[in-house]
Amino acid sequence: MNNASLLPIMALLPFLGALVPGLMIRAGRTACATFTAVPTILALVMLGLCAPDVFRGEVLQIEFEWLPALGLSVSFFLDGLGLLFAGMILFVGLLITLYARFYLSGDDPAGQFFTYLLLFQGAMLGIVLSNNILLLLIFWELTSLSSFLLIGYWTHLPEGRQGARMALTVTGMGGLSMIAGMLILGNIAGSYELTDILAAGDAIKSSDYYLPALLLILGGAFTKSAQFPFHFWLPHAMAAPTPVSAYLHSATMVKAGVFLMARMWPALAGTDAWFYAVGTVGLITMVLGALIALFKDDLKALLAFSTVSHLGLLTMMLGFGTEAAAIGAVFHIINHLTFKAALFMTAGIVDHEAHTRDIKRLGGLRHLMPITFVIAVIAGLSMAGIPLFNGFLSKELMLEEAAHTDWRGSHYAVPILATLGALLSVAYSFRFISHTFFGPVRDDYPAKPHDPNFGMWAAPGLLVVLVLLIGIFPQATVGPLVELAATAVVGHELHHWHDLKIWHGVTPALIMSAIAVLGGLILLALHRPLERLWNAVPRPEAKVIFDHVVGWAVAGSDWIAHKTHNGAISRYLAIFVVSTLALGAIAASGGGLAPATRALLPVPPLAWIGFLLLVVAAIAVVLLHRERFLSLILISIVGLGVSGGFVYLSAPDLALTQISVETVTIMLMLLALHFLPKSTPAESGIFRRVRDGAIALGVGGAVASLTFAFLLRDFSSISEFHLTQSKVGGGGTNVVNVILVDFRGYDTFGEIIVLGIAGLIIYALMHALLDGPAARRLRNWEFTQERSRDRHPMLMVIATRVMLPMTAMVGVYIFLRGHNEPGGGFVAGLIIAIALLMQYMASGFGWAQERQRIEYHAMIGWGVAIAGLTGTAAWLFGKPFLTSSFGYFHIPPIEEFELATAMAFDLGVFLTVLGAVMLMLYSLSRIARYAGETVNTAAMDYDPSQGIRETTEEER
Amino acid sequence: MLSEIFISALLVIGGVFGLVGSYGLVKLRDAMQRLHAPTKATTVGIGGILCASIAIAWLERGVASTHELLITLFLFVTAPVTANFIAKAYMHRNIEAASLPQTETSCGWAGYAPPPGENEPPSGDKSN
């Protein structure tokens, strides 16, 4: 088996594993932690299997297609850089799991924590293994999301929530910027495969779009890696539990930005723009982060700003764009991981045992916590860059490289600032050690500090052993790995590789390093007066600025939302139609309108009459709309007029549908009007009326002229296809019906679902409404008019009984002939609904309800189910969803007839329509019940046959 | 030729009655009087047209057409109900119970008095 096939499994393992701890939250912390370690260990083993191949110089690759049309594929690759990062992520993940097991208290939901941790680990692994930049972006966003969950893990702490939000906002915005940059990059390179992009480095650098792509991608990398001026989110993310901080801010999350810059190095680095953007930002971040770190009293805040500073160092090294700097950066990534993770865990131990992280309240812990003290000293000296510790080696490489770097012609700017950064770094590292562990033992710690149990110091202990091993035997321990990863960063064989060693002779770097150490010690001695000065100088507070910006954004969005969504439907309609009108006007002014190809047909007097009737009725609705009953009548005239128009224009199907829809609508509206005020109060002023009138006329005119323009021109449309294929392909001569149930069956299927949902929503809304204040209003409803005493007149009841079978017959007839002649399930459903509506109106809902065998909800459900099953039945024959088939049958006594599967589909439509309409009626009757209507048990008010029956029984 | 005259006569009769009915709807004074006018149109008016339709199908094309009978049936069932309801609504809105003559039975007018066998419900009671 090829080892490359392990890559997707490796990337997927943490996600699969993430399901487990969350589910076994009750099994306790140990079980959760164990099951978190399992996928991590498995992935590490797989990585170990792949490692020999990578060390031989191979690049493992595997690709599966996902959305080839978008250039998105699930493709992974593993080279030296990926191996280094994947190893770090998994190795530190394992240590963090162990540490977190002992760090979390019994009250914390440990299952959740480990689930988030694995999600995050999977996202990070995905980033470093992806070979497709779109896939990489997906994982990139996943790290933002999962780190949000991790940082805000202690949801009861406001700092935790705010820190998590800030981290998500900043890194999420960066992610958006990176999406844009990556898309541009993929466009230049002509492929979204990372290996292709890296190979196209020269083409990318010479492209006009190089600069925007570079800046956008750097926007993503800088926000993730907390580079100036986006560094402010990282310290606030320190509100997270310490294992999270140790994981996110030493090995993973913030290194993702650095990883990306290293990954893109062959494609983007080496230009002036790269040098000045990346190198300068890195330099500023390094010095600024170190300066702030010196004056932080919170141990974790100090470490956070030192992380910012070290990330700046890495960024700067990558920005130099030279091979030696790339080697130094890769080496420092490893070293920073070891000492910083150890330091974070140490800070966590101090916090855990002493119940404070405030340096001002600590001191003298070396006697109380000797093991922790040793760990902190080793890691701290490494951070300071003292010889024999690994931090020294990579810092030497950095200073060496800085000594040779010119910045805008100046030989001194970069070396001096780099030395300053190193000097400040020495100062805060020593401060961390001396102010926490040295000095007299105090008697006012919030808790009695002591060394933690083995489980808690095992992970940092192991890390500082690595610090020492790498520091003393650099080439033997990590030399080959650094060489391999650096080769992957620069994208070709290294020309200037020297084995890593401690002593290089007296070089400029050594002198700068000595200055840094001495200067750092002096600064520490002067810390007290310097701190007073620092506190006296005003500084911009990033969180305040951030909160203000967020506040403005929220207020702005609120303003827009409230202006456009003020709850009045007229406002939405106005916005919608005016913008459509504007777009239409722009389109019309484009001048692309072909000259008319058809002449106007003669207009017979009948058409004129119908047209005038429509216009007059429409105007009358506008004038009389405050009288609601009258306007309903007028609306029904418009509906009839439109139906007549359809008949005149040879669209009997539409006419039939229109007329039945009109009937049902008017009936339901009349019933609803019963519970509404009978007239609309005049509320709008003259200005609004004129404005709304102008909008309405404008849109009406636009639609009319658009229609007119269309009718005067010949254009090819899909109608030709429908007309020719209706009989041959769909087996029906009624093209409209064949379109509905066959050609566009999917649409119809969606529409009946929508219709069913609408019916159910009306029912549900009514349910909610009748629990609230509306129910009280209804109970107190005073019918303004005196009500008639005969609610269910005999004549009406008898007539509807007589009509029922006839109407039902018409409905069935319309349904059956639908495929070939005007009709179909929709119209049939409406006709049957009308027949039933009449029964309900004549004899009352209570009486009719008792005689109804099928629940309307069930009817809707059956309708959708039948239509859907008809569609899926096509699968049994290996055809796509909703493929219809038909055949002609001949059973002797009757004529030859046709059966089509579309008919079953139409039955689904029929049932859904019927169910939805009846459910609406039912909802109305519920209102009536609340408004005090009594439930009738008899079919009619006075049944004369009842009297006759009684007399005959008496006579017997 | 003869059939043409016959069909034309039917059409003319139907048309005249339809016109008379519509004219009456405009001309007559109040709703109760106007109720009479459309009855001309719905019976002989539409009836004439429907008969003409049957005659055309039968005499000219030799097909027996029965659709028209169904339409007639629907009209005959619905027209009285419509008229009945219009009259009831009109009475309900415009005529006081006191101005109506006494009924000859123990029950009052439909719509004004409760139906037979049902007592007058206490007014204002809405508690189901």
Q: What is the pLDDT of residues A279-328, one digit of tens each?
A: 999 999 999 999 999 888 888 889 999 999 999 999 999 998 888 888 99
pLDDT digits (tens, 9 = 90+) for A876-898: 777 777 677 776 667 666 666 66
Inter-residue contact A140 to A175 (CB < 8 Å): yes
Helix A80-103 vs helix A110-129: crossing angle, to nearest 10: 170
Please tell me the number of Cα atoms within 13 Å of A73 on its side-chain side.
Answer: 16
pLDDT of residue A726 exceeding 90, the answer is no
The string of DSSP letters for A50-100 reads HHHHHHTT--EEEEEEEEGGGTEEEEEEE-HHHHHHHHHHHHHHHHHHHHH
Q: Are B111 and A796 a contacting pair at CB < 8 A?
A: no
Q: What is the pLDDT of residue B118?
A: 64
Q: Which segment of A507-511, A623-627, A676-680 scores lowest on mean pLDDT?
A: A676-680
Q: What is the pLDDT of residue A893?
A: 65
Nearest to A789 among B85, B113, B117 (CB): B113
Q: What is the pLDDT of residue B12?
A: 95
CA distance B10 to B45: 9
Q: How confident is the model at residue A673 (pLDDT cuts 50, 70, 90)?
A: confident
Q: Which residues pair with A358 in a beta bridge?
A: A298
B81 near A CB under 8 A: yes
Distances (CA, A) of A650 to A645, A646, A653, A819, B56: 9, 6, 9, 17, 22
Q: What is the pLDDT of residue B126?
A: 37
> For residue A840, what are its two tokens?
């309900």
Distances (CA, A) of A731 to A723, A760, A892, A898, B71: 12, 34, 22, 8, 31
pLDDT of residue A121 exceeding 90, the answer is yes
Give the other-Cβ count within 10 Å of A57's Cβ: 11
Q: Is the peptide bond prior to A229 cis by the omega test (within 30 degrees of 0)? A: yes
User: In A, which residues are within 8 Å of B111 by CB distance?
Assistant: 788-790
pLDDT of residue A671 exceeding 90, the answer is no
CA distance A51 to A31: 30
Q: Are B112 and A932 a contacting pair at CB < 8 A?
A: no
What is the pTM for the complete model shown?
0.70
B126 near A CB under 8 A: yes
- Largest Cα–Cα separation, chain A: 135
CA distance A437 to A433: 6
A332 by Cβ neighbours in 10 Å (0-12 / 13-18 / 19+) ranks as buried
Q: What is the pLDDT of residue A450?
A: 83
The whole-chain average pLDDT of chain A stands at 86
Chain B nearest CA to A946, separation (Å): 11
pLDDT of residue B124 exceeding 70, the answer is no
pLDDT digits (tens, 9 = 90+) for A63-95: 888 888 888 888 998 988 999 999 999 999 999
Nearest to B77 among A789, A793, A802 (CB): A802
> For residue A252, what are its two tokens?
């993973």
Degrees, nearest 5: CA angle A691-A693-A697: 120
Q: What is the pLDDT of residue A784?
A: 55
CA distance A240 to A256: 19
Q: Are A788 and B81 a contacting pair at CB < 8 A?
A: no
What is the average per-residue pLDDT within A807-828? 85
Local structure of residue A410 (DSSP, 8 states): B
User: In A, which residues are within 8 Å of B113 by CB distance?
Assistant: 789
User: In B, which residues are within 8 Å of A941 by CB distance?
Assistant: 110, 115, 118
pLDDT digits (tens, 9 = 90+) for A845-867: 788 878 877 888 889 999 999 98
Number of H helices, E strands in chain B: 5, 0
Helix A323-354 vs helix A370-384: crossing angle, to nearest 10: 150
CA distance A482 to A475: 9
Q: Which segment of A13-27, A85-99, A186-200, A732-746 scores lowest on mean pLDDT?
A: A732-746
Domain boundaries, chain A: 299-558, 568-587+599-715, 733-956
Q: What is the pLDDT of residue A205?
A: 87
Give the other-Cβ count within 10 Å of B9's Cβ: 14
pLDDT digits (tens, 9 = 90+) for A389-436: 888 888 888 888 888 888 877 888 888 888 999 999 999 999 999 888
Q: Are A803 and B117 a contacting pair at CB < 8 A?
A: no
pLDDT above 70 as % of chain A = 98
Q: Are B111 and A779 a contacting pair at CB < 8 A?
A: no
Pairing of strands A886-889, A897-900: antiparallel
Distances (CA, A) of B98 to A178, A432, B123: 86, 104, 19
Nearest to A932 among B84, B88, B126 (CB): B126
Spatial CA neighbour of A402 closest among A462, A325, A486, A349: A325
Q: Is the dihedral of CA A442, A448, A451, A455 positive or negative?
A: negative
SS3 string of A129-190? HECEHHHHHHHHHHHHHHHHHHHCCCCCCHHHHHHHHHHHHHHHHHHHHHHHHHHHHHHHHC
CA distance A424 to A286: 10
User: In A, which residues are within 8 Å of B116 by CB distance?
Assistant: 942, 947
> Which helix (DSSP H) or strand (DSSP E) does residue A898 occupy?
strand A897-900
Please indicate whether residue A898 or residue A177 has the higher confidence score (pLDDT): A177
Distance of CA A714 to the CA centre of its chain: 45
Q: Are A789 and B116 a contacting pair at CB < 8 A?
A: no
pLDDT above 90 as % of chain A = 27
Q: Which residues pair with A63 in a beta bridge?
A: A75
pLDDT digits (tens, 9 = 90+) for B28-86: 988 888 888 888 888 889 999 999 999 998 888 888 888 888 888 888 888 888 888 88
Spatial CA neighbour of A884 closest among A873, A898, A894, A895: A873
Q: What is the pLDDT of residue A125?
A: 92
- The residues on A that touch B, with CB distances below 8 Å, are 779, 786, 788-790, 793, 795-796, 799, 802-803, 806, 932, 934-935, 941-942, 947
ipTM of the complex: 0.84
A676 by Cβ neighbours in 10 Å (0-12 / 13-18 / 19+) ranks as exposed
pLDDT of residue B122 exceeding 70, the answer is no
Please indicate whether residue A797 or residue B116 has the higher confidence score (pLDDT): A797
Please tell me the number of Cα atoms within 13 Å of A190 on its side-chain side.
Answer: 5
A56 by Cβ neighbours in 10 Å (0-12 / 13-18 / 19+) ranks as exposed
pLDDT of residue A782 exceeding 70, the answer is no
pLDDT of residue A595 exceeding 90, the answer is no
Size of interface A-B (CB pairs under 8 A): 49
